[in-house]
Amino acid sequence: MTVLFEAMTREQINAAAPRAIGVVPTSATEQHGPHLAVGTDTLLVTTVAERAAQAAADTVPVIVAPPVCFGSSHHHHAFGGTLSLSSEVFAGVVRDVLVGLVRTGFRKLVVLNGHGGNKDLVGMVSQDLVHRLGQQATVASCNYWDLARPALAAANLLPAARIPGHAAHFETSLVMALRPDWVDEPARQRTRDMSREDTGLDVDLTGAVVQTYGAWAKGPGHTDCPAAASAALGRQLLEILIDQTAGFFRAFSRVPGPTV
Domains of the chain in start order, with CATH, are: 5-253 (3.40.50.10310)
| Mean pLDDT computed over 203-225 | 73
| Mean pLDDT computed over 119-138 | 91
- CA dist., res. 249 & res. 228, Å (int): 32
Q: Tell me: the pLDDT tens digits for 77-86?
A: 999 999 999 9
Q: Over 60: is that where the pLDDT of 9 sits?
A: yes
**Chain centre distance of CA 244:** 14
CB 148 within 8 A of CB 45: no
Band of pLDDT at residue 195, cut at 50, 70 and 90:
very low
What are the angstrom distances between the C-alpha of 185 and each of 20, 72, 218, 219, 239? Answer: 41, 28, 23, 20, 23
Q: How many Cβ atoms are within 10 Å of 47's Cβ, its own excluded?
A: 21
- CA dist., res. 72 & res. 120, Å (int): 10
Band of pLDDT at residue 182, cut at 50, 70 and 90:
very high
CB 117 within 8 A of CB 71: yes
Cβ partners under 8 Å of residue 224, min gap 6:
165, 168, 169, 196, 202
Most confident of 82-91, 123-132, 189-198: 82-91
Band of pLDDT at residue 163, cut at 50, 70 and 90:
confident
| Mean pLDDT computed over 183-210 | 70
**Predicted pLDDT of residue 197:** 45
**Predicted pLDDT of residue 158:** 83
Band of pLDDT at residue 203, cut at 50, 70 and 90:
low
Q: Which of 233 and 215 is assigned the larger pLDDT?
A: 233
Q: Over 80: is that where the pLDDT of 204 sits?
A: no
- CA dist., res. 14 & res. 105, Å (int): 7
